Amino acid sequence: MTRSEYIALYEKHLNGSATAEELDELLKYQDEFEMYIVSKDDNPADYEESKHRILAKLEDSTGHSKVRRITQKTWWWSAAAAVFLLVAFGLYFLKKQTPTDNDNNLVAAAHNIKPGTNKATLTLANGKTLVLTDALNGQLANEAGVKIDKTKDGEIVYVAANENTSERAVPYNILSTKRSEQFQVILPDGSHVWLDAESSLKYPVTFQGNQRVVELTGQGYFEVSHNASMPFIVKTNRTDVQVLGTHFNVAAYDDDANAKTTLLEGSVRIRSNGAAALLKPGEQAVLDNNGHLTVNNSVDVNREVAWKNGLFDFKKAGIEEIMAKATRWYDIDVKYEGKVPPTKLTGRISRNVDISGLLGILQFEGIKLRVEGKSVIVSD
């Protein structure tokens, strides 16, 4: 069994979806558990150091294990649907056997802070707004001969009717999400867009002319239908991203220091204030607040699109970066008392867990936290 297979199987155990046969397989390899916790790929010395740190975390001063066998199912927050890998600290995060008073207080205070859901607001060309939820399915509207449907899979789909729409003024729709919301839309050309929390996408109900132009705020993942004669352009307040047919992610939140475009398939051209870059798969264009455009060719594309796949995924991330993502997804306010803790974390956790799961990990690593209503206070 490979490391990735073991981790995937362990996640199934945590969220309760593992079969009896899979649990038997998990138990079979449990004694080799630490071999799957950290990677040897980067640096063998780091691997050995990480392994020793893991064992130190999992054993008390008498040398006895602090973690019970998985068959006992007594781990601290069973709500965690995916495992958080704290590779930077040599720790595959395990739930503590006995929660402390601080742990219990944190979990109790954060009990009502739930993760985001599939929800959005669709603003039609006439100004009418529709709040989209999982419960609202079927035809929503008909604009310029284009039917707007919501499917049971939680997507907005635009379907052109048989009548000729070429001579009509093209109406625009806006799909927007608030904090703790996400949604998907299939555009009139068949392109598929995933919209993250606190984001919006403005687009025509039918594409005409020689370009397909949409406007994005926040973060979106695009799978663009190929059309060589009609380039697809994503406009943000910082960049224009031009493609023919490709898969890419655009993160352009106003309060982020950098605007990032990450390419998974195909090719895209980035333009901003006279600067330009042509990306190849696996590359990322980064535009900072000073207007400097650089290309990163060693980016982990899976980490950049983890949000679309239901994960938080961090690499040497500071507390401010982690909490910025938590703010959007859990609809919380974050306050800092004193200096921001210098701790940096690497790992992943499901975006479907309650915020107590994420905060519990930070607390386990020594971050001082308390929850007051919908505010999380981080202190030094």
Angle at Cα 115 formed by Cα 353 and Cα 335, nearest 5°?
105
For residue 330, pLDDT beyond 90: yes
d(CA 269, CA 241): 6
Contacts of 7 (CB under 8 A, 6+ apart): 36, 83, 85
Cross-strand bridge partners of residue 117: 181
pLDDT band with cut points at 50, 70 and 90 for residue 320: very high
**pLDDT on residue 255:** 87
For residue 3, pLDDT beyond 60: no
For residue 128, pLDDT beyond 80: yes
Top pLDDT among 314 and 63 is at 314
d(CA 61, CA 158): 63
**How does the average pLDDT of the chain come out, rounded?**
78
**pLDDT on residue 71:** 33
Top pLDDT among 13 and 194 is at 194
d(CA 49, CA 31): 19
Top pLDDT among 378 and 380 is at 378
Number of Cβ within 10 Å of residue 225's Cβ equals 17
Top pLDDT among 32 and 365 is at 365
**pLDDT on residue 161:** 64
Strands 172-176 and 146-150: unpaired
Query: What 3-state class would DSSP assign to 187?
Result: coil
pLDDT, one tens digit per residue, over 92-116 is: 333 333 445 555 566 566 767 889 9
d(CA 155, CA 184): 5
| Amino acid making up residue 226 | H
pLDDT band with cut points at 50, 70 and 90 for residue 81: very low
Q: Is 372 exposed, middle or buried (0-12, 13-18, 19+ CB in 10 A)?
A: exposed
Q: Domain spans of the chain?
A: 1-113+310-380, 117-304
Helix or strand (DSSP H, E) at 323 = helix 319-330
Query: What 3-state class would DSSP assign to 105?
Result: helix
Rounded to 10 deg, the angle between the 3-14 and 20-28 helix axes is 130
**pLDDT on residue 112:** 74
When pLDDT is averaged across residues 320-340 and rounded to a whole number, the result is 95
Beta strands in 181-239 (DSSP E): 181-186, 192-195, 200-204, 212-223, 232-235
d(CA 117, CA 207): 30
For residue 310, pLDDT beyond 70: yes
When pLDDT is averaged across residues 216-220 and rounded to a whole number, the result is 97
Top pLDDT among 97 and 206 is at 206
pLDDT band with cut points at 50, 70 and 90 for residue 265: very high
Cβ atoms of 332 and 112 within 8 Å: the answer is: no
pLDDT band with cut points at 50, 70 and 90 for residue 134: low
Q: Which of 141-150, 300-309, 318-327 has the lowest mean pLDDT?
A: 141-150
When pLDDT is averaged across residues 310-323 and rounded to a whole number, the result is 91
pLDDT band with cut points at 50, 70 and 90 for residue 69: very low
pLDDT cut 70: percent of the chain above it: 71
When pLDDT is averaged across residues 315-325 and rounded to a whole number, the result is 92
d(CA 10, CA 85): 12
For residue 12, pLDDT beyond 80: no
CATH code that applies to domain 1-113+310-380: 3.55.50.30
When pLDDT is averaged across residues 318-332 and rounded to a whole number, the result is 95
**pLDDT on residue 378:** 94
d(CA 275, CA 240): 11
CATH code that applies to domain 117-304: 2.60.120.1440
Token pair recorded at residue 228? 């060589």
For residue 185, pLDDT beyond 70: yes
- Edge-first strand listing for the sheet containing 375-379: 333-337, 375-379, 368-372
pLDDT cut 90: percent of the chain above it: 43
d(CA 34, CA 310): 26
Q: Which residue has the tokens 């224009």?
A: 240
When pLDDT is averaged across residues 288-296 and rounded to a whole number, the result is 91
CA 154, chain centre distance (Å): 18
